[in-house]
Each structure stands twice: as structure tokens, then as C-alpha cells.
Amino acid sequence: MKDLVKYFKMMKYALQAKMIFILAIIFFVLGILFELTDFSNHSSSYSLASLYLALTAMYFYQLVFSTTVSKLVQSSPMKKKLQTVGPTAVTLITSLFTFTVYVVIRLIRITPQFLEDNGTTYANTYSTILFMAVWYFLFSAYMSISYKSYIISIVIVAVSVIAILVFGSTTDIFINITDKLLIDGSNPVLLIAVSLGIILIGSLVGYIISLLLYKKPISDMAVRYALRQASK
């Protein structure tokens, strides 16, 4: 617990910490606004609100990891934790928080009247929860690679994003899975549990990747600007 508190405290020493934190807040607010103002297609699993909220959590990974580019932290015994368990733990906590916020809002909004007014079903509207969990999984893996192998991570995330967007907006794969996970056709308890499992597995995968890549130097391309700032 003490280490976790340290990770959060260390974020204020991240390069461009204020800007990154402001961006996280902006994405969080936009995600909430998009969900509340209903900028969505109720026949599709694609949800801009869930995507923005997922991105919010990923900024916290950057806040923790980027502290390690400083010369002081490079020689600190905390360096390994700040590149592995630290960003993973902080991102998981913020991911669970933003996920919970999204799910609560969605559960409040999705009523029989809402379904009737929009000509949709529980499976359609709740499928965005599963869609959001998949984004968390993808981003967790991406962030654990991005600082060490920038080009490879970009290629992987580009292919994955295209695949998810295509499947989420043009097919019923998320809707069909959601339909099977809904209890009595409307109760999303099992769906939420499975989605949480996907988020936890994503964090575990990201953590394992960060351990495997720990000894690999930080990609100069990924943090060129940050390193230049740190050397001043």
C-alpha cells in the first residue's frame, strides 16, 4: 500500500505532468459528456464515450513511467518498480474507476423506455461495456511495449485498433457475446464480471510484458522530447 501511494506521489515529477494530467481530465470529461449526450449508434458496439474513458486511464501509465527518464530515478532502486509494477498498478486502479463510472451511467440510462425510444435491445446497448474492456486490454499491452519498442507497438496497436473498430461497428460479434452473457436477457452482472476479468488479464499481460522488456533501453523515438527536457 505504501508503494502504491508513492507511485501516485511520483506522478507530479513526471515530465510535462500538468499537461498530461489536463489531457486525462479532458478525455474523462469528454467521455462522460459523450455518454450523457448520447453520441452513439445503438445498433453498434462502437462507443466514443467508452474509448475516451479508456484513454483517460492510459495517461496515468505515462505519468508514472515517464518519471524514470530523469537521471535521479535512473540510479534509484525504485526504477524497476516505476517501469513495471508502478504504472501497471496505477493504470489498473484508474481503469477500474473509469470503467465503474461508465457502467454506472450506462445502467442508469438503459431503461425499458430508453430501449423503446431508440428501437434497440439490452444486448446492443450493453455490448459497449464489453467493447470498453477490450480497449483496456489493448491499451494495457500497448503501453507496456510503447516505451521500449515504439515502432513495433505502433504497428501492433494500429492493426488492433482497425480490427476492433471494424468488428465493433460493422459486425455483431460484441453484441452476440453480450447477448449470451446477459442473464434472463437483461441482467448484465455476468457481462460486467467478464469485462472486469478482461481488464485484469490485460493488466497482467501488460505487467508481464514490462518485466520481459525491463532491461531493454527506453526507445529514443518514444521519449526523445522527454529525454531532451530531462537533460536540461
DSSP summary character for residue 13? G
From CA 7, how far away is CA 197, in angstroms rounded?
Answer: 24
The dihedrals phi and psi of 101, each to the nearest 5 degrees, come to -60, -45
Q: How far apart are CA 207 and CA 201, in angstroms?
A: 10
Q: What is the Cα–Cα distance from 197 to 134, expressed in whole angstroms?
A: 10
Tell me, what's the pLDDT at 231? 40
Residue 232 pLDDT > 50: no
Q: What are phi and psi of 187, to 5 degrees?
A: -85, 115
Q: What is the pLDDT of residues 105-129, one digit of tens each?
A: 999 989 999 888 888 899 989 998 9
Is residue 46 very low, low, confident or very high in pLDDT (cuts 50, 70, 90)?
confident
Which of 39-53, 74-88, 208-222 is the least confident region?
39-53
Across residues 198-204, what is the average pLDDT? 95
Mean pLDDT to the nearest integer, 166-178: 75
For 32, other C-beta atoms within 10 Å of its C-beta total 18
Burial of 10 (0-12, 13-18, 19+ CB in 10 A): buried
Q: Are 180 and 111 in contact (CB under 8 A)?
A: no
Distance of CA 210 to the CA centre of its chain: 16
Mean pLDDT of 171-194: 91
Among 160, 177, 68, which Cα is nearest to 124's? Answer: 177
Classified as helix, coil or strand, 126 is helix
Q: Calculate ∠ Cα 161-200-57, nearest 5°.
A: 60
Q: Average pLDDT in the 54-61 region?
A: 87
Residue 225 vs residue 37, higher pLDDT:
37
CB contact at 8 A, 152 and 142 = no
Alpha-carbon span 210 to 214, nearest angstrom: 6
Distance CA 145, CA 138 (A): 11
Does the structure show a pLDDT above 70 at 171? no
Give the pTM.
0.85
Judge contact between 71 and 20, C-beta under 8 A. Answer: no
Classified as helix, coil or strand, 58 is helix
Neighbour count for residue 160 (Cβ, 10 Å): 17
